[in-house]
Amino acid sequence: MRSLGFSFLLAWLMLFNVAQADVLDINAPAPRFELQDQNGDTHTLNDYQGKWLVLYFYPKDDTPGCTTEACAFRDEYKVITELNTQVIGVSVDDQESHVKFAEKYSLPFPLLVDDKGKVAKEYGALAALGPIKFAKRHTIIIGPEGKVKKVYRSVNASRHSQEVIADLKALRLEKAHF
């Protein structure tokens, strides 16, 4: 019941979001970031030069929609990595929460700690209502050269990983023709 209440609160907060979302332009340089993951390792955008990057923002560890999305990326991880792509999750939850979430669901990818919401804001994924801040369910595909290639502002958690895989394949084909 607590999860249902939290999900309702998040849905309500998203409807009345007062945070301003930055706009990301396709083919513009992706905003730089430097955040620690659940294991305390630091990740930067430069770490992924030469690879495709799926940077997905999500509201809260171990809630129904976020678990569905994370587990779908986990289940498709092999397919995604075979496309020379890394998946990274980002939320405003703390490191301890990320550790528990990653371990509970055997997530093979990093979960970055954006507890101040700075990176979420730069990517247009930060929502706030008064002092409560959380990341919206948004995903950005970043190309090997560090440029924004696709932005998802409306995400269905259960189908999203399949959508990302299809778009990665199309983007890779498009790049190969140029």
Percentage with pLDDT > 90 across the chain: 80
Average pLDDT over all residues of the chain: 89
CATH superfamily for domain 2-176: Glutaredoxin (3.40.30.10)
CB 172 within 8 A of CB 83: yes
Task: Kindly list the strands in the beta sheet with 111-113, ordered across the sheet, starting from the edge strand earlier in the chain.
Answer: 111-113, 85-91, 52-57, 138-142, 148-152
Interhelix angle 64-75/160-176, rounded to 10 degrees, is 50
SS3 content of the chain, % helix, strand, coil (to 5): 40, 25, 40
Residue 66 annotated as catalytic = yes
Q: With cut-offs at 50, 70 and 90, classify the pLDDT of residue 18.
A: very low
Catalytic annotation, pick one of 66, 80, 125, 126? 66
